Amino acid sequence: MLHSNITVFMPSVLTLTGIPGLESVQCWIGIPFCAMYLIAMIGNALLLLIIRSEHSLHQPMYIFLAMLGATDIVLATSIMPKMLGVFWFHLPDINFDCCLFQMWVIHTFQCTESGILLAMAFDRYVAICYPLRYATIFTHQLVTQIGASVILRAAILVTPSLVLIKCRFQFYHTTVISYSCCEHMAIVKLAAGNIRVNKIYGLFVAFTVAGFDLTFITLSYIQIFVTVFNLPQKEARLKAFNTCIAHICVFLQFYLLALFTSLTHRFGSHIPSWIHILFSSFYLLVPPFLNPLVYGIKTKQIHINVVKFCCVLYSVCGGLKTDGQQNTS
């Protein structure tokens, strides 16, 4: 981004360019992004509907899964409608305060998702390592407190980033954001001032959340594996391990994508900017897209209830079609 001597005082509107360098094919790039978004919305909504309606799934493991699904819906919806507006309908303008709000939602719910993954790892740790104490430890009150704490932690950590931008910067080099959404550093780099404090705080939040959560998730799964491999019966080992497969898949794809995106931003200066932006967009959308698919395939209770739901839906649609044909005849 080229800086000029001309500055803008407190711009009311910012402009999102989408993916610089790929403007001519952005309409085509929007197709797989839209497909992923629709699958993410349908999959997570179906997950929430099944967990809510099936009483046998009102357990901590599935309640955390419902929290993850709700978080994914909010995260994907905060990004995709505006991104598709830029890609397909040439609507790049966004109100400055709306841009800050989008930034807050994106980073708050990313932190929330990380916290929920930590809670799910702790849930599996207690269930496998201390099965006799599981019911007394994981009460509905504790699950509610963990959910509230995860959201509160994310909001408290991310809100100062928004305040620092709003209060510290009045003049901006440009109003054009060379990005597909309002990400923290993409906004900060527009400012005509010293952005060191904002950069340091952004790194502090990233390392605080990822460092804390990743450390305890790793320790939890190490202890889980030790316990599982010490079980005397092979069937018991397989059953215990199968309960963790979906969690491990979701955990790995979330943090590996985050690590890859972070490394390419900091050490990939020779990589074209469109690759950075494309992978950052995938990082924001892939977890909401993959999570319901992974849990729908790998979690037996979810899989069974999804099949039941689809059978009921098919029967209802078939009945309506038959009634319609009889009325016509």
What tens digit of pLDDT does each residue of 21-71 get? Answer: 888 899 999 999 999 999 999 999 999 999 999 888 999 999 999 999 999
User: Strands (DSSP E) along the chain, which ranges?
Assistant: 8-9, 13-16, 93-95, 171-172, 176-177
Which pLDDT belongs to residue 257? 78
pTM attached to this predicted model: 0.90
Residue with the larger pLDDT of the pair 108 and 55: 108
- For domain 11-307, give its CATH number from 1.20.1070.10, 1.10.10.10, 1.10.730.10, 2.60.120.10: 1.20.1070.10
Statement: residue 261 has pLDDT above 90: no
Statement: residue 234 has pLDDT above 80: no
CB-based contact 292:40 (threshold 8 Å):
yes
Q: Write the CB contacts of 234 (distance below 8 Å, at least 6 apart in sequence).
A: none
What tens digit of pLDDT does each residue of 12-25 get? Answer: 999 999 888 888 89
What tens digit of pLDDT does each residue of 193-211 get? Answer: 899 999 899 889 988 998 8
What tens digit of pLDDT does each residue of 157-191 get? Answer: 999 999 999 999 999 999 999 888 998 988 998 99
Q: Write the CB contacts of 33 (distance below 8 Å, at least 6 apart in sequence).
A: 80, 83, 84, 87, 281, 285
Which pLDDT belongs to residue 327? 62
Q: How far is Cα 202 from Cα 157, in angstroms, rounded to an integer?
A: 9
Domain boundaries, the chain: 11-307
The share of the chain scoring above pLDDT 70, in percent, equals 92
